[in-house]
Amino acid sequence: MGNPKQKWTSEEEEALRAGVAKHGTGKWKDIQRDPEFNPYLVNRSNIDLKDKWRNMSCSANGQGPREKSRTVKAKANSDAPASQVSTPQTAVPAPAARDSAAVPSTDDSSKALPDGKNSSIDYAGYFSGNFVEYEMVWYNTMIFEALSTLKEPNGSDTSAIVSYIEQRHEVPQNFRRLLSTRLRRLVSQDKLEKVQNCYKVKSNVDASFGTKTPALKAENQPRPLQTTVYRTTTDVVDEAGNAAYKIAEAENKSFVAAEAVKEADRISEMAEDTESLLQLAKEIFEKLFLTLQVRRVNACTQHSIRAESHALLIFENEPLY
């Protein structure tokens, strides 16, 4: 009676995604019970989670509704018994444009639905305006989700992960590169395990969602950088898209950036002793990386990059919160 269908909110969806990233698909009860997600999922049963996941993944798949085409309801007889349901599976041209959530693009003023529907994931609500971390967490979440969904016993290689994510979300041009950077970081943080060229989730990892840092206040942040790093190729028309283009271009020939990444990696390695220091190192790493990209666009010199590194090292000494 009093059951007018409860639409899923973006918070619930996000909690579910993160839950799957942490526990894996099929662990619906675990996800529902997990104190981390429970607050968002109090109104949902494990069955609801399963059903919702089914809906989310099939519509993101570009595949037809729920695996079996239900256009022919209730009279499915006289069908070819087997060897007939060849799912296309190949590269879907336009992977369901309904998911405007896409990749973390820091300024998403593009197409906000008038009624504020649940189509745009509100990470910002979770991470208090820290865009850098929010992008990082997005990558982590997608990686864990991909691995736990793909469930390959020997792990999945970069291509598999890339195509998994590509099928569900819009990705930037240099996505593969960014992703492998993230993968390497996760390996060095002992959250992933690399065998051959494949990545596996290390057991005993409390996954990406746990990396949220409540201590970071938006007001303390230097104000997010204006650059729009992520854009789809189809979106490259305005100056923002143009900037993204230049960034990608610059990145390709930017050995300097690679050096800086290594440097940042070393810093984070040293800081790995304590959680808070690690967090700090991540901050610095991401900031450095972002700054470098921006700098490249402005045709900066090695020299100024060095200076930037120094500035950031100084920044390390200052209390973050």
Partner DNA sequence: CTTAGGGCTATTG
Partner DNA sequence: CAATAGCCCTAAG
Q: Which residues bind DNA (CB under 7 A)?
A: 3-8, 25-30, 44, 46-48, 50-52, 55, 59, 64-65, 67-68, 70-71, 73-74, 98
Burial classification of residue 102, based on how many CB atoms lie within 10 Å of its CB (0-12 exposed, 13-18 middle, 19 or more buried): buried
Pick between residue 150 and residue 300 the one whose CB is nearest to DNA. Answer: 150
Pick between residue 4 and residue 88 the one whose CB is nearest to DNA. Answer: 4
Q: Measured from the CB of residue 218, what is the shortest distance to DNA in angstroms?
A: 29
Amino acid at 19: G
First vs last C-alpha separation in the chain: 50
Q: Measured from the CB of residue 41, what is the shortest distance to DNA in angstroms?
A: 11
Residue among 156, 285, 38 at smallest CA distance from 277:
285
Pick between residue 67 and residue 206 the one whose CB is nearest to DNA. Answer: 67
Judge contact between 199 and 147, C-beta under 8 A.
Answer: yes
Q: Measured from the CB of residue 188, what is the shortest distance to DNA in angstroms?
A: 32
Alpha carbons 144 and 203: distance in angstroms, whole number:
12
Q: Measured from the CB of residue 146, what is the shortest distance to DNA in angstroms?
A: 17
**Helix residue ranges, H only, the chain:** 10-23, 28-33, 38-41, 46-61, 123-127, 131-150, 158-168, 175-188, 239-252, 255-271, 275-297, 302-317
Pick between residue 5 and residue 303 the one whose CB is nearest to DNA. Answer: 5
Pick between residue 30 and residue 316 the one whose CB is nearest to DNA. Answer: 30
Q: Measured from the CB of residue 176, what is the shortest distance to DNA in angstroms?
A: 28
Q: Measured from the CB of residue 57, what is the shortest distance to DNA in angstroms?
A: 10
Pick between residue 27 and residue 194 the one whose CB is nearest to DNA. Answer: 27
Half-sphere exposure of 196 (CA within 13 A, CB side): 7
Alpha carbons 251 and 260: distance in angstroms, whole number:
12
